[in-house]
């Protein structure tokens, strides 16, 4: 009898978890061995990170132990950091453990911040949209308030928060920040008017890709809560305590949050797989071009929306669907079938704006306020239900009302 194939999944984000979940369901342990490699022993909800980052949600709510939602008897869970992928040798080099050989590989290692050529981003801004990154940012925000109160000569920039990027992530974060700031002002006896919040966007509009009415709704709401927008203003450099715009303007701020977009994890490019900003333009069945045994999903993949002829933005929604499809296609291959085409189904796009506010589209219908937040929370809950059933939803789910 031939050796059982070894499926290795790199990364336990939305894509990796759904791929593992699918393989656990569809493929008997007598058919294949499946290994999931992840840096931490937990999975976290990337799309919720703006909340622990602003301090409006405890970070533990946004994470779940991997072995609580995957069956360790069916999936071999390895906590380690991926150093390198060698596609010719069919090997994965880990930081601490032994190399792993694979027959099928799923690359789902996520993304890092894209700087778009601005200097100093990695050194001087909060740019890590990870659970640890969110915790650091929360601590920093609180520290600035504490310092402002305790210092003899407090400086305005201590309570200036600059969000670089007025896209999805930047807007969701600043929405939470506007909810948190009044609490912090009360807690630290700081007058509200001392706090300044900027959103700086290089494109001609905030929230590119959203309907103009929705953009206006979000901007009006956030401006009412004290956010100042600088639109059509690319940033050239971040220095310690300030951002410098291309037009020469400088904004002094002790806390600079980078949220202009992402590029795929450098592991992709290091592996010699052709990529654009670290994203691989995958085949219709989600395999990397020329590599029959490597599936690339989530933020590491790039797929084209056939209607608009432009790439889909990297979202959790697509990553999850790709994870399921990668799992299905690997099952097909192992069972002697053929992989099938991935077709994303975009159910909607909803951005939270802090408190009970949100906006976006569901099946092309515009939604605002509590209705939009309701739909967003229901969709969060649906994911938890798929991932870990009713018990996960009950412990980590979101009350929709």
Write out the residues near a copy of itself by the rule CB under 8 A.
370-371, 374, 390-391, 393-394, 397-401
Residues forming beta bridges with residue 251, ordered by sequence position:
243
Smallest distance, a copy of itself to C-beta of residue 371, A: 5
Q: Which residue has the tokens 């889909």?
A: 312
Catalytic residue among 51, 114, 172, 179: 172
Q: Clarify whether 172 is annotated catalytic.
A: yes
Chain centroid to Cα 177, Å, comes to 18
Nearest CB to a copy of itself, comparing residues 304 and 390: 390
168 burial (CB, 10 Å; 0-12 / 13-18 / 19+) is buried
Smallest distance, a copy of itself to C-beta of residue 193, A: 33
Find out whether 252 and 241 touch, Cβ atoms under 8 Å.
yes
Please choose, from the candidates 71, 24, 45, 2, the residue with its C-alpha nearest in 3D space to the C-alpha of residue 376: 45
Chain centroid to Cα 247, Å, comes to 30
Nearest CB to a copy of itself, comparing residues 101 and 371: 371
Nearest CB to a copy of itself, comparing residues 230 and 377: 377
Pairing of strands 104-107, 6-10: parallel
Kind and range of the H or E element at 250? strand 250-252
Q: Which residue has the tokens 């001392």?
A: 194
Please choose, from the candidates 382, 364, 261, 266, the residue with its C-alpha nearest in 3D space to the C-alpha of residue 317: 382
Smallest distance, a copy of itself to C-beta of residue 48, A: 15
Smallest distance, a copy of itself to C-beta of residue 239, A: 45
Find out whether 26 and 327 touch, Cβ atoms under 8 Å.
yes
Query: DSSP string spanning 327-388?
Result: HHHHHHHHTT-----------EEEEEEETTEEEEEETTEEEEHHHHHHHHHHHHHHHHHHHH
Point out the residues that are catalytic.
Answer: 172
């Amino acid at each position: 009898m031939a050796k059982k194939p070894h499926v290795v999944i790199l990364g336990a984000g939305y894509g990796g978890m759904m791929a593992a979940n699918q393989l656990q369901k569809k493929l008997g342990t007598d058919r294949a061995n499946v290994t999931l490699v992840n840096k931490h022993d937990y999975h976290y909800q990337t799309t919720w990170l703006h909340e622990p980052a602003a301090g409006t949600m405890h970070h533990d709510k946004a994470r779940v132990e991997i072995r609580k939602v995957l069956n360790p008897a069916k999936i071999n869970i390895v906590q380690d950091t991926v150093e390198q992928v060698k596609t010719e040798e069919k090997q994965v080099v880990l930081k601490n453990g032994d190399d792993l050989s694979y027959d099928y590989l799923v690359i789902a290692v996520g993304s890092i911040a894209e700087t778009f050529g601005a200097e100093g981003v990695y050194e001087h801004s909060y740019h890590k949209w990870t659970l640890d990154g969110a915790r650091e940012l929360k601590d920093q925000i609180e520290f600035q308030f504490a310092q402002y109160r305790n210092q003899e000569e407090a400086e305005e920039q201590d309570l200036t928060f600059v969000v670089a990027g007025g896209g999805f992530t930047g807007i969701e974060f600043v929405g939470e920040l506007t909810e948190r700031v009044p609490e912090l002002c009360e807690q630290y006896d700081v007058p509200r008017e001392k706090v300044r919040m900027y959103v700086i966007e290089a494109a001609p509009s905030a929230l590119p890709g959203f309907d103009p009415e929705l953009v206006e709704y979000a901007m009006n709401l956030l401006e009412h809560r004290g956010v100042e927008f600088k639109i059509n203003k690319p940033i050239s450099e971040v220095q310690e305590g300030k951002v410098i715009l291309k037009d020469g303007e400088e904004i002094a701020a002790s806390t600079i949050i980078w949220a202009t977009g992402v590029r795929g994890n450098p592991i992709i490019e290091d592996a010699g797989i052709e990529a654009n900003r670290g994203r691989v333009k995958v085949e219709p069945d989600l395999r990397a071009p020329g590599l029959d045994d490597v599936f690339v999903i989530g933020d590491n993949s790039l797929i084209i929306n056939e209607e608009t002829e432009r790439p889909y933005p990297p979202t959790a929604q697509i990553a999850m669907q790709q994870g399921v499809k990668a799992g299905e296609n690997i099952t097909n291959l192992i069972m002697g079938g053929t992989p099938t085409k991935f077709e994303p189904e975009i159910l909607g796009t909803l951005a939270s704006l802090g408190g009970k506010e949100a906006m976006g589209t569901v099946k092309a219908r515009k939604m605002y306020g509590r209705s939009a937040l309701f739909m967003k929370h229901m969709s969060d809950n649906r994911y938890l239900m798929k991932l870990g059933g009713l018990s996960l939803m009950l412990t980590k789910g979101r009350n929709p009302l």
